[in-house]
């Protein structure tokens, strides 16, 4: 089986006998956007989209109606989380832009402490996709200054499908050893991104 491409709509694998395997998700897709939106790979959306999930062993997509019916949040809390998430994204996107990067997306983890909503995790390369502006080309895979390098390696070598299959079977996935050259490349890019975003050196 050969991995061909991935996205929030589906992963595509090539099977034997010229068959294709499509793995669909119910995350935000191009089909849910307004008309005339450019849907080429890496094209910018007209505005940021709030795409919530619940947090368990892995992210589980959840709609506004589901999050309220499951009593995860109230209607007002959901709207607050949507507004605040986009506000944080836009603030960080400006910082990235001034530092020579495009903040392609951002994951924020919220929780409750004493019945107050709080940001429950740090914001770093594990929580966003960061692309260099000077190498950005619509329709192409971008140079990643985040953990996308690791995601791509896992997918291309069949490990991501093994992870998905294990989780679907109720088992804990077993992580493979990561090549040292990939670790070095990611480390170098993480340091570069940190220095450009913060102005500090390591």
Local confidence band at 9 (pLDDT 50, 70, 90 cut-offs): very low
SS3 at position 4: strand
For the residues 174-180, what does the mean pLDDT come to? 93
To the question of pTM greater than 0.75 for the whole model, the response is: yes
Q: CA-based angle 100:133:37, to the nearest 5? A: 130
Cα separation, 197 vs 174, whole angstroms: 34
Domains defined for the chain, CATH in brackets: 2-198 (3.30.470.20)
Q: How confident is the model at residue 96 (pLDDT cuts 50, 70, 90)?
A: very high
Tell me how far apart the alpha carbons of residues 54 and 58 are, in angstroms, rounded to a whole number.
Answer: 8
Please say whether the dihedral angle defined by the alpha carbons of residues 83, 86, 92 and 94, taken in this order, is positive or negative: negative
Instruction: Pick the range with the lowest mean pLDDT from 16-25, 44-53, 101-110, 139-148.
Output: 16-25
Please tell me the distance from the alpha carbon of residue 62 to that of residue 83, in angstroms, as a whole number: 17
CB–CB of 103/129 below 8 Å?
yes
- In this structure, the number of other CB atoms found within 10 A of the CB of residue 39 comes to 11
Give the chain's length.
202
Give me the pLDDT at residue 121, please.
84
Query: What is the rounded distance in angstroms from the CA atom of residue 137 to the CA atom of residue 159?
Result: 28
Mean pLDDT, the chain, as a whole number?
83
pLDDT tens for each residue of 18-60: 666 555 555 554 445 566 667 778 888 888 888 888 876 567 7
Q: Return the closest-CA partner of residue 52 out of 65, 39, 41, 42.
A: 65
Which residues sit opposite 21 in a β-bridge?
13
Confidence of residue 4 (pLDDT cuts 50, 70, 90): very low
Distance CA 147, CA 157 (A): 16
DSSP 71: T
What CA–CA distance (Å, rounded) separates 40 from 165?
A: 29
């Amino acid at each position: 089986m050969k991995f061909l491409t991935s996205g929030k709509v589906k992963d595509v694998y090539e099977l034997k006998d010229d068959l294709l395997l499509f793995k669909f998700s119910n995350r935000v897709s191009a089909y849910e956007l307004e008309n005339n939106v450019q849907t080429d790979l890496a094209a910018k959306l007209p505005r940021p989209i709030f795409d919530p999930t619940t947090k368990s062993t892995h992210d589980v997509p959840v709609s506004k109606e589901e999050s309220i019916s499951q009593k995860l949040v109230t209607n007002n809390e959901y709207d607050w989380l949507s507004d605040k998430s986009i506000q944080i994204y836009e603030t960080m996107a400006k910082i990235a832009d001034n530092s020579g990067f495009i903040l392609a997306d951002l994951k924020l983890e919220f929780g409750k402490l004493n019945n107050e909503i709080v940001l429950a995790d740090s914001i770093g390369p594990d929580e966003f996709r960061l692309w260099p502006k000077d190498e950005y080309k619509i329709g192409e895979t971008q140079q990643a200054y985040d953990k996308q390098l690791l995601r791509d390696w896992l997918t291309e070598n069949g490990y991501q499908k093994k992870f998905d299959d294990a989780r679907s079977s109720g088992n804990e996935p077993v992580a493979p050893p990561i090549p040292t050259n990939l670790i070095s490349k990611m480390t170098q890019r993480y340091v570069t991104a940190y220095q450009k975003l913060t102005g500090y050196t390591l």
